[in-house]
Structure 1
Amino acid sequence: MTMSTTTEPTHAAPLLDLQTLVVSVRRRRRLWSSLALLGLLIGAAVAVLLPPPPTAVAKVLVAHQQDQPNDPGTLIRTDVALLQTTRIAEQALKSLKSSEKPEDFMKDYAGTGLTNNLLQIDVTGAGDAQAVARAKALADAFVADHVRRIREAAEAESKALLDQRDRLREELDQVNKAIGNGTPESGPKASANTESLFARRAELTARITDFGQRAAEARVGTPQLIAGTQVVDAPRAVRHSLPRAAATDAAIGLVLGLVLGLAVAAVGAVVADRPVLRREVAANLGASVITELPRRSAGRLQRRGTRGARERLTASLARSVRGSAEPVSLLELGCAPAAALIALDLAAALAAQGPVSVVDGLPGLRLTHHRRRPAELTVVGEDAPAAAGGEVRFGVGSVSPGTAWADLRYLGTRAVLVVRAGHGSAAWLHTVARQLAEQRITVLGVVLIDPDPRDRTDGTLWDGPRTAPRGQNERPAREDSTRGRQTERPPAWAARVPDSDQEAR
């Protein structure tokens, strides 16, 4: 008979699992909600403790000689830059009769180009009246400077045209003089010279007339530009609403704090690499998740469901302890209180059928000093003598960092791991699985504490050791009437977890 084996192709694990990241960030909601709340409080405090200074605003309509419909805003940006000059600031301070330096005054106002021809001036002051006065002086200074520049440009252009016209007139006088002094000679050469003089005189006359018209047009266009540059919105104080400012700043702080908290939580989750899903916990420990218990129960229905899950878990563990020929232990990771409660429930269930003792290997002897420990329950240390005949004993220990791995066999060679989701890193879960395998401790299953309520992944290892807390891997020791000896099936040891994806392949 030939046995054929088929190997399934192995898929490399993704560098970043989005589902795991979302669950990890959601589990850190205390962090990002605290940062969001902190941002909200800081924003509201800034609005209350640092109110904006009194501000006045004025709007100026600016007319340009080079205005074009398709202007991209270069001219108005030039006006904004000119507003931030010491010449404008000095003129405004002179009208205010202030001794403040122009450089310091320039820090208290700003210009904004609303459109290609509309300029907004924002000025701050010690009070509303001072801010309004500053805005009025600044707007008047800008308008006066703009008008002066327009007039100077028009006068300069007109003067250049008139000077050119005067030079052409002098040349025309010379041409007229040459025509008047001409000899009445006949002949082709004399006729050609006379015709050229008359053509030159006509050209000079036309150019002189053109330059005169252009100089007049330069003067005519100036009043239109001057009249078009004016203050269209008188300076007025800007009213600030404290509730509105507080609400706006608080909302901004809330959003910034939330974004920062989510970023910190996401980065922390990626760096920590702590499995939170059933699938990841089972894969890293090499054992299936047999049940889940919440860390705390809030609602009545949730408490009822948790109570039912605890009762089922206790009954299953009790069957495993009674039906196992080897001692069974509970090993916790990050949830010592939950492991102590499970041990007390298990001891109570076993005590109903006979004497029971518990080996307390938890850090700090949590079980020995537990407030819910019944007085009749016998709790012993790890160095206690063997259990008496008819007494059921199980151990409770820890696999947290610093555990003495060689001592875990004294608690039990068959173990149920009680693990809190998101507590141990993937590397530490691998370490726990390897150490238990080296100590030849069979892992019956994993009890997951504080799981994600939206986790829908499968925590069962179908290709792993088929163990369960009911002890299907062995038959309880029985007294054979015919042979007079005990028979049992050899236990299946915990599967060794590969150190890397390459070793797994």
Structure 2
Amino acid sequence: MTTSTTSEPSAAAPLVDLQALVVAVRRRRRLWCAMALLGLLVGAAVAVLMPPPPTAVTKVLVAHQEDQPNDTGTLIRTDVELLRTTRIAGQALRSLNSSESPEDFLRDYRGTGLTNNLLRIDVTGDSDAEAVARAQALADAFVADHVRRMRETAKAEAKALLEQRDRMRKELARVNEEIGDGPPRSGPGESARTESLFARRAELTTRIADFNQRAEEARVGTPRLIAGTQIVDAPRPLRHSLPKAAATNAGIGLVLGLVLGLAVAAVGSVVADRPVLRREIAANLGASVIAELRRVSRRPAGRWRLRRTRAVRTRLTTTLVRAVRGSTEPVSLLELGCARSASAIALDLARALAAEGPVVIVDGLPGPLLAGRHRLPGDPDVVSGEAAAAVPRQTRRLGVGSVAPGTAWTDLRFLGGQTVLVVRAGHGSAAWLHTVARQLADLDIPVIGVVLIDPDPRDRTDGTLWDGPHTALRGPHQRPARRNGMGRPRTERPPVPAARVPNSDQEAR
């Protein structure tokens, strides 16, 4: 009986797996936490080591002849730009008897339009007194320049109106001469001409009176605008609070450092392409994840964490013992990025197998992790790869090696005919995991399973390859999936023997 487990082709994989990206960024929290801490320290150091220069501030009320309630701030922005001209800067410097150039002085102050008629001026100096004096001189220069421009504008407007009035008066004199002092002449044509002259004289008289009024208004309005332009807030030094500035700069540095650290971690995770999820590691190695374990730390752990880790290691040892006990060939543990954890797992496994017979650990790890360790009573013997040939045949061998870059692949065959990969999550790139799987397949070393070290605690993906070998822990009644005629995988189970039905009396008896 054959049961097909084929499924529809999966959709195209996304360019960036957001779940894997979030996990990879979270695993690199040391990086972005360090960047955030560095930003905080740099921000606080900048506030302490580079305090702002002494600054004075003043406010000027600016009256405009063209003021409108619906003005969008165009006039005050014009005043801000006029404030930053060399003419006003030069006038302020002359009042201070300073030899500084106006171009250099422009870098020491700035103007800000608070409302349509309120201008704020910030000026820096070598001391508070100098900053206040420069702010006063700059505000006086701006007010004087603004008053001068208003007067010139009013004077030019009044002059134009009076010139128009004088022209109207000359024309009115000519009209009066034509009308004359005598009685109006008789006749239809003379009567119409006389009426038009009188109408023209009345119009000219009205316009002359209008020009006189407008010129007077221009003269009268100028003092009102001049009086409205004044310094409403005398220059005063700004008080600088070092704790407040340090806290503000530290907060800004913290945020910038955190954002930069997250960006670097995200970009680095995408570029490095280091799988961290169970499903990715299993897919790249072509073997199922059969167990997980925290990384062995160099520092002593707490009592609660030590007890929890010991329980997990006990379950892992039990799982590996079941997988190794029925093997007719030596089994090896090959690590990638977790030599210390692989050594601890090998010792636990060897101690558990020692109850069934003699066990020898064949050390193929670089460095003295196993050979140079402190041996405890009852620990198995550890031999090097050269001495492995002298081990008696009845002694079970447990090899420990590495598949890190630079591995002598041909030596892995002498460590064991089957292997369990001990891989640290996020250590090897996807390309290197493919290389490991390909090299082990070329050496005809089947992979029993993968022990994942330091997994992400929030990873909920499945690390089992259901179309992999029987070591995927699917049960002994399923054989490896193979391809059917359509190129799709199928899973075969051995046929279940049917119950025999008696078809004769002899068989019934």
Normalization by structure 1: what TM-score? Answer: 0.89
Render the CA deviation track for 1:97-134: whole Å, top value 9, x for unaligned.
Answer: 22222222221111000000000000111111111111
The alpha carbon displacement at 1:434 in A equals: 1.9
C-alpha spacing 1:430/1:368, structure 2 compared with 1 (3 Å): same
Distance 1:2 1:456 in 2: 31
Distance 1:472 1:177 in 2: 129
| Gap regions ≥5 residues in structure 1 | 475-490, 497-501
The alpha carbon displacement at 1:211 in A equals: 0.6
Distance 1:156 1:421 in 2: 83
**Counterpart in 1 of 2:276?**
276
Distance 2:446 2:476 in 1: 10
Residue 461 of structure 2 aligns with an amino acid whose one-letter code is T
The alpha carbon displacement at 1:94 in A equals: 2.2
**Counterpart in 2 of 1:482?**
none
**Counterpart in 2 of 1:486?**
none
- Equivalent residues in 2 for 1:58-457 (5 A)? 58-180=58-180, 185-296=185-296, 298-372=301-375, 377-383=380-386, 384-385=388-389, 387-457=391-461
1:461 maps to which of 458, 461, 465: 465
| Gap regions ≥5 residues in structure 2 | 490-509
Render the CA deviation track for 1:73-116: whole Å, top value 9, x for unaligned.
Answer: 10000000111112211221222222222222221111000000
C-alpha spacing 1:468/1:104, structure 2 compared with 1 (3 Å): closer
Per the alignment, in what secondary structure is the counterpart of residue 440 of structure 1? coil
Distance 1:271 1:370 in 2: 38
- Of stretches 6-15 and 453-462 in structure 1, the one that deviates more from structure 2 is 6-15
Per the alignment, in what secondary structure is the counterpart of residue 346 of structure 1? helix
Render the CA deviation track for 1:443-485: whole Å, top value 9, x for unaligned.
Answer: 111111111112122222223222168x9769xxxxxxxxxxx
Task: Please tell me whether the aligned partners of residues 62 and 117 of structure 1 are also in contact (alpha carbons under 8 angstroms).
Answer: yes
Residue 122 of structure 1 aligns with an amino acid whose one-letter code is D
Distance 1:334 1:104 in 2: 60
Distance 2:100 2:3 in 1: 99
**Counterpart in 2 of 1:481?**
none
Distance 1:495 1:415 in 2: 22
Per the alignment, in what secondary structure is the counterpart of residue 295 of structure 1? coil
Render the CA deviation track for 1:273-322: whole Å, top value 9, x for unaligned.
Answer: 11111121112112111111111464432221211121222233334434
Task: Please tell me whether the aligned partners of residues 442 and 492 of structure 1 are also in contact (alpha carbons under 8 angstroms).
Answer: no
C-alpha spacing 1:331/1:3, structure 2 compared with 1 (3 Å): closer
Distance 2:322 2:448 in 1: 13
Task: Please tell me whether the aligned partners of residues 466 and 472 of structure 2 are also in contact (alpha carbons under 8 angstroms).
Answer: no
Distance 1:493 1:418 in 2: 23
**Counterpart in 2 of 1:480?**
none
Distance 1:318 1:69 in 2: 88
Aligned length: 482
Render the CA deviation track for 1:160-181: whole Å, top value 9, x for unaligned.
Answer: 1111111111111111112227
Render the CA deviation track for 1:324-380: whole Å, top value 9, x for unaligned.
Answer: 211111111111111111112222223344322121111235322233576964322
The alpha carbon displacement at 1:214 in A equals: 0.7
Per the alignment, in what secondary structure is the counterpart of residue 362 of structure 2? strand
Task: Please tell me whether the aligned partners of residues 6 and 488 of structure 2 are also in contact (alpha carbons under 8 angstroms).
Answer: no
Task: Please tell me whether the aligned partners of residues 413 and 443 of structure 2 are also in contact (alpha carbons under 8 angstroms).
Answer: yes
Task: Please tell me whether the aligned partners of residues 441 and 493 of structure 1 are also in contact (alpha carbons under 8 angstroms).
Answer: no
Render the CA deviation track for 1:413-458: whole Å, top value 9, x for unaligned.
Answer: 1111100000011111112112222222121111111111121222
Render the CA deviation track for 1:19-61: whole Å, top value 9, x for unaligned.
Answer: 1111111111111111111111111111011100000000011
Task: Please tell me whether the aligned partners of residues 333 and 399 of structure 1 are also in contact (alpha carbons under 8 angstroms).
Answer: yes
**Counterpart in 1 of 2:500?**
none
Residue 232 of structure 1 aligns with an amino acid whose one-letter code is V
**Counterpart in 2 of 1:487?**
none
Task: Please tell me whether the aligned partners of residues 60 and 139 of structure 1 are also in contact (alpha carbons under 8 angstroms).
Answer: yes
Normalization by structure 2: what TM-score? Answer: 0.89
Render the CA deviation track for 1:238-280: whole Å, top value 9, x for unaligned.
Answer: 0000010011111111110110000000000011111111121
Per the alignment, in what secondary structure is the counterpart of residue 368 of structure 1? coil
